[in-house]
Structure 1
């Protein structure tokens, strides 16, 4: 996988462009953290007892994209991608965090990219004030954007540490 270009979020834009810009920035950051690594490195767990790996983070974010933009925002009835759907919808795989030895790396990245594309399409068809049904009530697209930025930012911090442990690379 080559290093992706990271779009810089706009410095002075409307609310939607700002939210979309930051979300795309964080999506590209996760891809950049994975760039240039082989399969073994992508599957390497951070440090015991944590099972988190870079590939596991990509799997998890595919699940998160699907959950918020397809199940909640669009009301689609789609199952989990990884795991069996038990324990609150995350399955035995705990939301995709494990490396999933049975799933080829290229397939994991293709699945994540497809979920991102569906997320963009579902969001583009809605206003920021449009809502979807969440277990605690209605949630706006605006709230989903902010939550997704937070979700990626948190996991990109994990990715920083995992990548540094693999090959010493920091930054990006």
Structure 2
């Protein structure tokens, strides 16, 4: 019996093991981020709609940096600068040359790299993290789900303010 195509990633692993559930939820929210900027113009992606400097483009760029930080730097032990982490603005600064297409491509590339790095570890594996001492891959997954879901909510509001588009995956 094939899976019901109407089910979302998280629903497809409702009886999955812990790793399958964590990976599915993170990938679900990664997809939602991409969906929230799908079809938006570069100008609208940069437009500030709230009093902070948060923009749709900034959210994508920030999450790219966060992926690189936790998977490409913390988990691997590589220096943040080598992993492509934006240590100056935490990824929030959108350069004039940034386009939403390029930002999404970079984000998807960072997510693919994160998946590849994570595949080399078990959920119980721990790595050094200066602020926290040690963190497990399990903790990184939960943190990244929280981080990505929180910003997906921000993106949902910004997209609705931009063109009225609402919904779980739009």
Q: What TM-score comes out, normalization by structure 2 length?
A: 0.86
**Contact 2:64/2:106 (8 A) holds in 1:** yes
For residues 68-114 of structure 1, the C-alpha deviation after alignment (integer angstroms, 9 at most, x for no partner) is 0011011122417475xxxxx3x0xx312233223233322222111
Q: What TM-score comes out, normalization by structure 1 length?
A: 0.85
- Of residues 164, 167, 172, the one that matches 2:160 is 164
Q: Which residue of 1 aligns with 2:115?
A: 120
Q: Which residue of 1 aligns with 2:54?
A: 52
Q: Which residue of 1 aligns with 2:90?
A: 95
More helix by share: 2
**Contact 1:27/1:152 (8 A) holds in 2:** yes
Structure 2: runs of 5 or more not aligned: 1-5
Cα RMSD after superposing both structures: 1.9
Q: Which residue of 2 aligns with 1:106?
A: 101
Write the distance in 2 (CA, Å) between the matches of 1:21 and 1:161: 23
Pairs within 5 Å for 1:18-167: 18-47=21-50, 49-79=51-81, 81=84, 89=87, 91=88, 94-135=89-130, 136-167=132-163
Runs of 4 or more, structure 1, over 2 Å off, are: 80-83, 102-107
